[in-house]
Amino acid sequence: MSLPTNITLSFHPKLNRISKGKELRDGLSAVTQIADTLWVVNDEGTSLERLAPIKSLKPGIKAFGCHERFPLADFLRLPQKKVKGSKNQPEVDVEGLTHADGYLWLVGSHSLIRPKPTLDEGTKRARQQLYQVNWRGNRYLLARIPVEETNAIPTLVKKAMRDGKKLVAAQLRGDDRGNDLTKALRQDEHLGLFLGIPGKDNGFDIEGLAVAGKRIFLGLRGPVLRGWAVILELELKANGKRPSLLQLKPIGPKGGRYRKHFLQLAGLGVRDLCVQGPDLLILAGPTMSLEGPVKVFRWKGGADPKGECMVGKKDLVCLLEVPHGDDVGHAEGMTLFSLDGGQVGSLMVVYDSIPKKRQSDDGTVTVDLFPLAGKLSWR
Distance (Å, whole) CA 215 – CA 92:
23
Check pLDDT > 90 for residue 118.
no
Q: Are 89 and 46 in contact (CB under 8 A)?
A: yes
Residue 15, C-beta contacts closer than 8 angstroms, at least 6 positions apart: 24, 49, 67, 69, 363
**Which region among 54-58, 238-242, 254-258, 324-328 has the lowest average model confidence (pLDDT)?**
54-58
> pTM for the complete prediction?
0.93
According to the model, what pLDDT value does residue 2 have? 58
Distance (Å, whole) CA 304 – CA 279:
8
Check pLDDT > 90 for residue 23.
no
Mapped onto helix, strand or coil, the DSSP state of residue 75 is coil
- Tell me the pLDDT band of 111, cut-offs 50, 70 and 90: very high
Cα distances (angstroms) measured from residue 291 to each of 31, 285, 325: 22, 9, 6
pLDDT, tens digit (0-9, with 9 covering 90-100), for 65-103: 999 999 999 999 998 876 666 666 788 999 999 999 999
- Tell me the pLDDT band of 363, cut-offs 50, 70 and 90: confident
Residue 96, C-beta contacts closer than 8 angstroms, at least 6 positions apart: 30, 105, 106, 107, 206, 207, 208, 209, 210, 218, 219, 272, 273, 333
- Domains of the chain (ranges; CATH) run 5-371 (2.120.10)
Check pLDDT > 80 for residue 52.
yes
Name the residue among 291, 292, 309 with its Cα closest to residue 300. 309
According to the model, what pLDDT value does residue 377 have? 36
Check pLDDT > 70 for residue 303.
yes
Residue type, 17: R
Check pLDDT > 50 for residue 359.
yes
In this structure, the number of other CB atoms found within 10 A of the CB of residue 241 comes to: 6
